[in-house]
Amino acid sequence: MAAFNPVPFMQICLVNSFFPPWRGGAETYTYNLARHLVARGHGVKVFCAAPPRKPGEHSVDGVRVNRLPVATWIYGTPITLDLPLALMKVDADLLHVGFPSPYNAFHVSLVSKLRGIPSVLTWHNDLPAVSSTASLLVRLHDSFVLPAYIGRYRSIISTTETYARESPILARWRSKVRIVPNGVDSRRFSPEVDGNAVRAKFALGDRPIVLFIGALTRWHSYKGLDILLKAFSLLAKTFRDVALLIIGDGELRTRYEKMAIDLRIRHDVFFLGDVDDLHLPSFCAASDFLVLPSKDRSEGFGLTILEENACGKPAIGSKVGGIPAVISHGYNGLLVPPCDPLKLCEAMRYLLENVEERLEMGRKARMFAEKRDWSVVARETESIYKDILTK
């Protein structure tokens, strides 16, 4: 059966730092947007850095993925020297790039101008200033480099109205900003998923499970795992059988493991490393709730919250960045102040002690997630493309 296509066929070129199996919110966004645009009858090609695969071109769900070799890394960003030439040759009606990657965003805007191809920028989050050196680079970029290219984009997509309002960059370019929330695969992440295999694998039985999902790298230290470990050490004094599952890996893993030992909670904290996306819904299903204790505005959305919600589970998140637009306090989860282990501990204790309320939040969370399927994201993004190409 032919795919339903409400608008004329478009050749779309998506550019992002990475592509699955590399894990990250921007990667999940790029993959799901691409495959749903293909399902709607469009041609989609993706340019990204090669890791964790080798350079080359292959097809995924009808999407042509071109993985480019990485020459070097700057500020945690892969520099793919082949990208400018590839963009100059690509057959595309529209270019769409994800930020934060100043390198990609600059070259897409440049090619957009040189070739007269309209371009769109998805602003996932501001550049994170994770160190004094990084903070200096961010200020230099935002003050001198960004103004040279951001104005060339026809539209800038923000995933939440909250972030569009609070980001000083997006506030400055508000006339170009369109809001398209992130999505979730509500069939893969579902209350029907069985989490018993996860509980059995780690001999967790009926223990309450708290879940954290995020990269354990320097560039993702804003995710606040150190805050969660401190809060969990306070919680464990009251709930001695509660378990914390940590999904993600990176160079800071050893530091976090040592922290768990120092806090005397290591036997209750399970560092699971990277988990294949295929199995991720099972971990959400096994958990009682997810915690995303992000520290600052570097958290543009919090896609893991939506995935946990889709499995019928509430989430606890910090009141920073785009998280308040995803968690409605008391409805599909709880909001807490950032960098406050005591308040985070109290929120976790509340969900553990009030089982019926937690389950009711989970039911509402599922309804919330069902309205945000990736098919909706693709349709709304397609509408932006159409507006740009017809003006």
Q: What is the pLDDT of residues 219-273, one digit of tens each?
A: 899 999 999 999 999 999 999 899 999 999 999 999 999 999 999 999 999 999 9
Q: Tell me: do 271 and 151 sit in the same domain.
A: no
Confidence bin at 90 (pLDDT 50/70/90): very high
Q: What is the pLDDT of residues 181-196, one digit of tens each?
A: 999 999 999 999 999 9
In a domain, 81, yes or no: yes
CATH code of the domain in which 107 resides: 3.40.50.2000
Q: Tell me: do 144 and 201 sit in the same domain.
A: no
Q: What is the pLDDT of residues 38-77, one digit of tens each?
A: 999 999 999 999 999 999 999 999 999 999 999 999 877 8
Q: Tell me: do 230 and 163 sit in the same domain.
A: no
Q: Tell me: do 285 and 386 sit in the same domain.
A: no
Share of the chain above pLDDT 90, in %: 90
Domain that holds residue 346: 196-370
Q: Tell me: do 232 and 110 sit in the same domain.
A: no
Q: Tell me: do 309 and 385 sit in the same domain.
A: no
Q: Tell me: do 140 and 246 sit in the same domain.
A: no
Confidence at residue 170, expressed as pLDDT on a 0 to 100 scale = 94
In a domain, 332, yes or no: yes
In this prediction the pTM is 0.91
Q: Tell me: do 291 and 256 sit in the same domain.
A: yes
Q: What is the pLDDT of residues 292-325, one digit of tens each?
A: 999 998 899 999 999 999 999 999 999 999 999 9
Confidence at residue 134, expressed as pLDDT on a 0 to 100 scale = 77
Confidence at residue 76, expressed as pLDDT on a 0 to 100 scale = 78
Number of domains in the chain: 2
The count of other CB atoms within 10 Å of the CB of residue 201 is 11
